[in-house]
Chains A and B, each alone.
Chain A
Amino acid sequence: MISANTEVLNFPILTMLVILPVIGSIVVALLGKSRPEWMKLSALISSVTTAALSLWLLGVFKSGEAGFQFVSQHEWIRQWGISWHLGVDGISLFLVVLTGILFPLVIVGIDPHHDETSYFAWMLLLQAGVMGSFLSLDLFLFFVMFEIVLVPMYFLIAGWGYDQRIYAALKFFLYTMAGSAFMLVGIIATVVLAHRDLGVVTFDLVKIAEGANFSTTAGRWLFLSFAIAFAVKVPLFPFHTWLPDAHTQAPTGGSVILAGVLLKMGTYGFLRFGVYLFPQAAMWARPAIFTLAVIGIIYGAIAATMQRDLKRLVAYSSVAHLGFIVLGTFALSSQAVTGAVMQMVNHGVSTGALFLLVGMIYERRHTREIAELRGIQHVAPIFAGVFTVVMLSSVGLPGLNGFVGEFLILIGSFGPARWWTVVATVGVVLAALYLLWAYQRVFHGEPDEANSSFKEITIREGLLMSVFVAIIVVSGIYPKPILDRIEPSVAALISHVEGQTK
């Protein structure tokens, strides 16, 4: 059983992780006009401090424990039974850390080119929202965070994106909001129905999951209402159409965050809310979700192969990768779910890095058309080397991080979802196909005139990428510390599911 392990810690570290970026954002907005030089500094300070806090959290997190740690609970809206309830366990820990370190990297590494003040202010608000989503243990609080994320992301895409940015931003906002509309009704219905079992009105995730006993039909409807929101966010085929547009049109920083952590809010939501609250319904919905996930894997891979725009290619590869994560999540075996959680982080790192690299290519060449690029390997060998490592991680080469997650997912899914897994394996091969083929076209061959002046990676870019490469290599070679922290929580979740579905 998962129990709310109330850690007595004097320092409210989780609350600080959410509040600090908000404070940073306000400071940035206030300083922007009068002291532009301090503005960027304060954005940096607040995001680096958040990163340091999240790394500290990683350090003091007790490995081998299944329950929620560093729980912080304060009454917020008493009349509705809503509290400020944060906690972290093995499932959310690495997503929190990833959120913590990805943002300062983006803030340091990528220039917004114009309107820096608002750009950084929105970035930090976005960080707060994402942090909050991964830490919330209260359904209402989670919804608030899940939904509030849309606003900064909308402005980032609409304000700093490319030609079709307005269209992409609108599509992103409306698709996701439509999904969460159903979830809001679902959340309230969950609380109302749980009220009959619990005797109190509460939005507390743990209390509802452990105490409520939904009827089969009610559970299925409720699960579906959550599933729609998460399926749009992930995005699961056929709800994915907003993603290529949003990814392609977003500024590089926005794409990195979108791929790195925002999409994970969907897969994480499936695990934390969908499966945990409604195990029976999740089991019932499994075949449908497996099918959609596998379609996503194959379709995403094929679509990626067809793309002429490098950024769009990476975007479609996301659809495929997230299909794997969803497959693993719903296989509901210990290995598969552990692999899925690990893969959430891996995908964030490697696809985030890919978007950064594509952004760098665009900065230099002002095009992302694969046909326009050629022979870059000759003029920028280090750049090509970094790209190779990141790409191979995305392909899932043994020894790099992508392999660990994908392997665990496939092994763990083979039992519960044999034929789906067999088809999904084809996706692994296709991933190698589209990425290597793209690499071949962009980096091999003789550079033509436009590409011969392609600038080698700069020191700042090199330092930025070295963080990603380090994570990719280290967690690929020695994933044990990561798996040790994920596994107990996953095991507890699986036994919760098994207990409920016997």
Chain B
Amino acid sequence: MNDEVATFVGPAIEWFSVSPIVVLLGGALLLLLVGSLTPQWRRGGYGLASAVIALTAIVLLVFLWRDISSSGPKLLVGGALALDHFAVLASIAICSAVVLVSLVTSDYLASENADSPEIYALYLTAAIGGIVMAASNDLVVLFLGLETLSLSLYLLAASNRKRTQSQEAGLKYFILGGFASAFFLYGVALTYGTTGSTRLVDINLALNSYITVPRNDTLLLVGVGLMLIGFGFKVSLVPFQAWTPDVYQGSPTPVTAFMASVGKVAALVALVRVFVTAFPSRADDWGPVVLVLSALTLIVGSVVAIIQVDVKRMLAYSSISHAGFILVGLEVSSHRSSPDVGDGLIAIGVYVALYAALVVGTFSVVTVVAQNTNDGATSLDAFKGLGKRKPLLALAMTVLLLAQAGVPLTSGFVAKFGIIQAAVAIGSYGLAVIAMVCAVIAAFVYLRIMVSMWSSEAMTTEPFKVSFFSAISIAIAVVVTLVIGVLPSLLLDLTSNLPQLASK
């Protein structure tokens, strides 16, 4: 036993390549430590610190991006993590979401008189989990990231101790999330049992080896299916979406923004990587399943959104239908014989990056509006007359909502266009049409919010306050939405290497 320990050689770690994670981890610990040892910081202090930490990570990620552009994608830490454009893009989206959400949160907590460093430390920890998920090349490492992210999110959902809805949301999320993790883990176990590895790349090699190994394909497919169920819960695909509206509604709104952006981006990117890297050889088996899931998710997400009266619930369902849209890209990636199969990954990368900014911006507006009601309500009524009380805020929300609906000259259209183009290029006309029709149905929901803002009289005449940091965060989201909407080349220029996932 001792001999084994003595001869164990740890994998080489390229410290620079994992530096974003190190920065986030160090930042989180430092923030927690210093924050708890010092008296209450000035307003916005914690939020700014968290934003700066995440910004540092973004800068490092940009350096990594350029490294990959010049020297190609590679695997890190003995093949546990993948360093490629796909992972880095998702990580940048995650860290940007942390920056924006931190700013909004600091205003939100200040208005609740509850500003403290823990929330931000949890954001940073969750972001680490998200980045690990997005970059993991190993099912066990993926699970590690998943749990890091999920545990932080459970706490964040329940973080408003004054509201029972927040407690309820946390508990609900915790129980269902635990279920999902169990499903996922069982799937990992079965896959390991059949292929003898948890490394995505090695799983693929094992499934493709020329030497016929007696293997139980049923077990493998059950394993893949269980993993898909686990992911389905995390990214709220129909029929695993039931928790989403309740949790989104009950959680503090900035946390909802965080869940809808970071949580979703990380899980979707991980889902895509697992299926594209480890199981391309079984694409004919999971492709149709993904097709059905994505059609169901699109339809249920957009149709059920119509009957909601609470804006957070509406946006929860809209986030479900967005996930359906992204899944169309995964369906594209299952058509391996087509030369355009790479378009699917590009479309997914572009979509998640733009979606993150969009959804954070939208929920930031909801946060600000809720702060200005007596009871923090987010019903449609709370938005009445916003166009008269705060025209600029209403205009920003209008831009963000139009982008979510996929109206041209906004980033939402660029994202949707990429997905539809990829789907049509490989011949999935049916799914493309379903996705577009669902986008129209979903548009009805966004129009309802716009009607409330512009065409109704305000319920109260109390002064409406927009805090500084929230305004900045919303402004950034709107600028990204419009600039990428008008000049998509800025983003598309960068994405040509997205389909090259790290494999050695």
Report which A residues bind B (CB closer than 8 A).
Answer: 76-80, 143-144, 147-148, 150-151, 154-155, 158-159, 165-166, 169-170, 173-174, 177-178, 181-182, 184-185, 188-189, 192
Are A189 and B429 within 8 A (Cβ)? yes
Q: In the docked arrangement, what's the CA distance between A172 and B413, Å?
A: 20
Q: A158-B454, A185-B433 are in contact. List 9 more A-B contacts (CB 8 A).
A: A77-B488, A77-B492, A80-B421, A80-B492, A144-B413, A159-B455, A166-B455, A181-B440, A184-B420
Pick the 7 closest A-B CB pairs, nearest first.
Answer: A181-B436, A144-B408, A79-B492, A188-B424, A178-B440, A185-B432, A177-B440
Are A184 and B447 within 8 A (Cβ)? no
Q: In the docked arrangement, what's the CA distance between A189 and B432, Å?
A: 10
Q: Does B443 contact A (CB under 8 A)?
A: yes
Residues of B within 8 A of A147 (CB): 407-408
Q: In the docked arrangement, what's the CA distance between A155 and B433, Å?
A: 27
How many A-B contacts are there with CB distance less than 8 Å? Answer: 77
Residue in A159, A169, A181 whose CB lies within 8 Å of B437: A181
Q: Nearest-CB distance from B486 to chain A (Å)?
A: 9
Are B437 and A77 within 8 A (Cβ)? no
Residues of B within 8 A of A177 (CB): 440, 443
Residues of A within 8 A of B141 (CB): none
Q: In the docked arrangement, what's the CA distance between A77 and B493, Å?
A: 9
Residues of A within 8 A of B417 (CB): 80, 184, 188
Are A192 and B425 within 8 A (Cβ)? yes
Contact status of A170 and B447, CB under 8 A, knowing A178-B440, A185-B420, A185-B436: yes
Residues of B within 8 A of A182 (CB): 433, 436
Please give the number of chain B residues whose Cβ is less than 8 angstroms from any Cβ of chain A in the complex.
28
Residues of A within 8 A of B429 (CB): 185, 189
- 8 A Cβ contacts from B482-503 to A: 488-489, 492-493, 496
Are A174 and B420 within 8 A (Cβ)? no
Residues of A within 8 A of B409 (CB): 144, 148
Residues of B within 8 A of A192 (CB): 421, 424-425
Q: In the docked arrangement, what's the CA distance between A170 and B443, Å?
A: 10
Residues of A within 8 A of B420 (CB): 184-185, 188
Residue in A78, A155, A185 whose CB lies within 8 Å of B489: A78
Q: Does B439 contact A (CB under 8 A)?
A: yes
Q: Nearest-CB distance from B388 to chain A (Å)?
A: 9
Contact status of A173 and B493, CB under 8 A, knowing A143-B408, A147-B408, A181-B436: no
- Please name the residue on chain B nearest to A78 by beta carbon: B489
- Please name the residue on chain B nearest to A76 by beta carbon: B489
Q: Nearest-CB distance from B347 to chain A (Å)?
A: 11
Residues of B within 8 A of A181 (CB): 433, 436-437, 439-440
Q: Does B451 contact A (CB under 8 A)?
A: yes
Q: In the docked arrangement, what's the CA distance between A159 and B408, Å?
A: 22
Q: In the docked arrangement, what's the CA distance between A189 and B444, Å?
A: 26
Contact status of A151 and B402, CB under 8 A, knowing A174-B440, A181-B437, A192-B424: yes
Q: In the docked arrangement, what's the CA distance between A501 and B404, Å?
A: 42
20 A–B contacts from the bound complex (CB under 8 Å)? A77-B492, A78-B489, A79-B488, A79-B493, A80-B417, A143-B408, A148-B408, A148-B409, A170-B447, A174-B444, A174-B447, A178-B437, A181-B436, A181-B439, A182-B433, A184-B420, A185-B420, A185-B424, A188-B417, A188-B425
Are B421 and A188 within 8 A (Cβ)? yes
Q: In the docked arrangement, what's the CA distance between A166 and B454, Å?
A: 10
Residues of A within 8 A of B492 (CB): 77, 79-80
Are B425 and A173 within 8 A (Cβ)? no
Are B447 and A154 within 8 A (Cβ)? yes
Q: Nearest-CB distance from B32 to chain A (Å)?
A: 43
- Please name the residue on chain A nearest to B490 by beta carbon: A77
B394-437 vs A: 1/0 string, CB under 8 Å? 00000000100001110001000100110011000100110011
Q: Nearest-CB distance from B303 to chain A (Å)?
A: 13
Q: Nearest-CB distance from B330 to chain A (Å)?
A: 19
